[in-house]
Homo-oligomer: A and B are copies of this chain.
């Protein structure tokens, strides 16, 4: 059963123990509950597409472990071309679902990061994490499961390391090392797509030193494991998902982010890939971000494509030619292609790790993260500018008012322009959803903040080489070092 059907996927979610809450209410069935069904539908798209041969090409590859066809989301990326496929797949999924299906791609990135990191740990310490991961991965590929990924800890006071926090649980940590596994406590925050996932892949949230070694932990668990409580966070206009009508215009996708609360969860050793090897937490992070910050350029480009389409749609519905907005549409395209292209470049300039996995170029990945944190904002602004006042903040009466028996006819009369009131309203609601509504993904801080990325850019910039180029060209022979700090 290497590739399962959409229905298999839905069924697998239905079978799980309910442990997800929102609004202080337990969600019995994530596939039908308004708070989660859209994101499940979005993730489900990745299974539906197997039926279309052209799409299947985008979504699947050959397992290097078994030679079987597998979902790319469960593959180890081994070449630049596969990395390009990663960017393209993410763009495609945003094109189809309008937003993030983070429960697939963060998991993918996490397992790729730990594939490499576990190899390195084993090499130094003689452990068997890498084999465990491979064993688990083979099985995961066979089951074709959906895996969310989780890095971000609550962190508490940002200026203190985990072990110096007043509360040691502010970062997820091992509270007991047992022969058959580990027991962990703490939380992960703002984790995307968990409601649509079968399993969750955990990474350390930062690079740690020896004093924080119990925080150096990576593992993978079923989403409904004992001791894990999940609380979905709010997002803009989220209660509309509980309403009738098209004020949330998109049913084919949706985003959820949750807090994972670990109350002494036992993880069996076969599912543990790091337990105390603090020295490798930095690498786990680095391998994660090098891939993630490359491919996220595809994500925001994919949403940007939809922003362009929505803006043109609304302009036409208003009776205006898209030509009127040519310069804006070109700029939106430039923004999209820049984040997509920089991700491709990071893949192209990457290199093969001895473990067999592909590592993207860190400089280009991190530069891209800065673009991801800025350009989509301009694209959104331009969509709102083209769309006009009703799209800017979704300034139209609610669906209930639109269909009011008392005055709905008037609302519809006045929302009509060159095309039907409904089409125009749906287009405007789509822009709202994409730019200031429930479809806005948290890509600025997701996968780490732009300031962190800038730090990498600075570190990787070979500044002294550049100084030496300039010295040579200017004919300067004197030694001109960085000035010493005055004591």
Contacts and interface: CB of A to CB of B under 8 A. Distances in A.
Contacts of A236: 236-237, 393-394, 432, 436-437
19 contacts: A24-B400, A80-B348, A157-B319, A189-B390, A231-B401, A233-B394, A239-B239, A306-B473, A309-B463, A312-B463, A327-B327, A329-B463, A330-B454, A334-B457, A337-B364, A344-B344, A388-B445, A419-B478, A430-B474
Nearest to A349: B344
Number of copies: 4
B389 A473 contact: no
Contact of A427 (B21, B240, B476): B476
A401 B473 contact: no
A147 interface: no
Nearest to A249: B474
A158 B84 CA distance: 41
User: How big is chain A's contact interface, by range?
Assistant: 35 or more
Contacts of A237: 236-239
Interface string A430-467: 10100011001110111001110010011001010111
A316 B392 contact: no
Contact of A320 (B250, B385, B403, B483): B483
A341 B316 contact: no
A396 interface: yes
Contacts of A436: 236, 436, 440
B231 A440 contact: no
A461 B24 CA distance: 42
Interface string A340-380: 11111111110000000000000110011011011001100
Given A237-B237, A416-B156, A483-B321, A470 B309 contact: yes
A257 B442 contact: no
Nearest to A97: B473
